[in-house]
Chains A and B, each alone.
Chain A
């Protein structure tokens, strides 16, 4: 039996006495594309932060069979955080500098970037079709371009697992579809395991192999087709489920 990329058991997170996540248990296999969906405040980003060790949590999380505390997590994970609304348009870094910073996870102190690191950055930008933005300041790019640059940063060290937190929230519908298609291609052609957080169940459901529906606890975990037929989800949504499952 192959080792799961992620194995979470009874993961709980509390913020100031409030339980943001309650006893979350799930596994992610190699090559899976999981959509983590749910309403606002359901704990999606909190789950991501727990998986990355950014917030304290109860329970256990294992990456490739190793516990979170032992695992040199960073080398195997690429992470695209929620849209950086605070990204200063005057930040004085080129796109290339930002993408290249993604290899820091694989560097021991004192970190130095080599020619091969910059070459890897260019390769990552090539995959996402943004090599023309190499020398452009990151703050001067459009929302869609910035997301692609930050995705290139997440991919530059060839991670096994890609975690994307609400990556399309500031994108127009055309850019959104293009982004989802790019991620699907990375999953299918490069074998990257993907965890994509979104509140847009309908869009994610078309690309993800499985959906994990959260509302502080796991409401549903299965394929989009199972999601649409699930009596549990029908009870949860009521008539709204029909709208979500309508393919567009």
Chain B
């Protein structure tokens, strides 16, 4: 235990650990704010779908020797709007629309990677994330975009609440449901792109889903649920990063496992509470 604490103290002195914690905490806040709305609206897998699209966008960025976030953000945003349109106009079920776009993304990413001369380490690192290699620029981008996500979600909180509870009634209240849905999905695309650097495309949706479902086990009011999801998310990142340093585990996967631990505890607590 003492040794672990010493290692944590030692870790905090490294700039790459500090960057990882700052970026991870900001991203965790963004994920938790959106996650509750997405889970309750049965859009949990949209993070997964957009993450698969981001695999293709990262491949494109690497092919063009461009910054992955700069290429991924607009393309993943377009894909998110495509999912909404497929759901509305093509009358595809929500999960089918996600599956369609998701498969397209993965397939395109594989083709681009093979065109570029085969699978390379850089692309694979985006599959599983590497928060410990996050740059100063990426920390700034993560902080700015996460704060934007949190502020916009807070701005539209009451509209999102009304739509989440009862979409038809929200229309009767005069809420512009289509516009608000677009905003929600665009914010999700932003947070997914941030997340792929931290935990990778394979695990980013768990950062959106797990803190939300953990909070839902125990909380009874909407604002309290979002707040607790934020607490779970941030602590998962901090504990996950330190645990990965101490035990030499992959950081992304460790963060997700800590998330899963919080879910288990809150699930059991929720059952005991009744």
**A interface vs B, CB < 8 Å?**
52-54, 72-74, 77, 79, 81, 84, 88, 90-94, 97-98, 101-102, 104-105, 107, 110-113, 135, 137
Contact = CB atoms under 8 A, between A and B. Distances in A.
Which residue, of B36, B156, B215, B220, has the highest number of chain A Cβ atoms within 10 A? B220
B249 interface: no
Given A74-B173, A92-B215, A112-B158, 14 more contacts: A74-B174, A79-B169, A92-B219, A93-B221, A101-B158, A101-B173, A104-B159, A104-B173, A104-B175, A105-B173, A110-B155, A110-B158, A135-B220, A137-B221
Contacts of A104: 158-159, 162, 173-175
B90 interface: no
The SS class assigned to the B binding surface is helix
B221 A113 contact: no
Contacts of A81: 166, 168-169
B18 to A, nearest CB: 34
Interface of B: 36, 40, 155-159, 161-162, 165-166, 168-169, 171-175, 215-216, 219-222, 224-225
Contacts of A101: 158, 161-162, 165, 173
A135 B156 CA distance: 23
B221 A97 contact: yes
A199 B205 CA distance: 45
14 contacts: A54-B171, A73-B174, A74-B173, A74-B174, A79-B172, A81-B169, A90-B216, A91-B40, A92-B219, A92-B220, A101-B161, A101-B173, A105-B174, A111-B157
A97 B40 contact: no
A81 B170 CA distance: 11
Contact of A98 (B165, B168, B172, B215): B165
B166 to A, nearest CB: 7
Which residue, of A72, A92, A97, has the highest number of chain B Cβ atoms within 10 A? A92
A113 B158 contact: yes
A107 B158 CA distance: 10
A53 B172 CA distance: 8
A113 to B, nearest CB: 7
Contacts of B175: 104
Contacts of A135: 220
A111 to B, nearest CB: 4
Contacts of A84: 166
Which residue, of A81, A93, A110, has the highest number of chain B Cβ atoms within 10 A? A93
Contact of A52 (B36, B157, B172): B172
Contact of A92 (B156, B157, B173, B216): B216
Nearest to B175: A104
A166 to B, nearest CB: 14
A111 B224 CA distance: 19
Nearest to A157: B173
Contacts of B156: 110
Contacts of A98: 165
Given A81-B166, A81-B168, A105-B173, A137 B220 contact: yes
A193 B173 CA distance: 18
A73 B174 CA distance: 8
A104 B156 CA distance: 12
Nearest to A113: B158
B144 to A, nearest CB: 21
A7 B173 CA distance: 21
B22 to A, nearest CB: 28
Q: Which 7 A-B pairs have the closest CB atoms?
A: A111-B158, A74-B174, A92-B225, A105-B173, A137-B220, A104-B173, A93-B222
A137 B270 CA distance: 14
Which residue, of A53, A81, A101, A107, has the highest number of chain B Cβ atoms within 10 A? A101
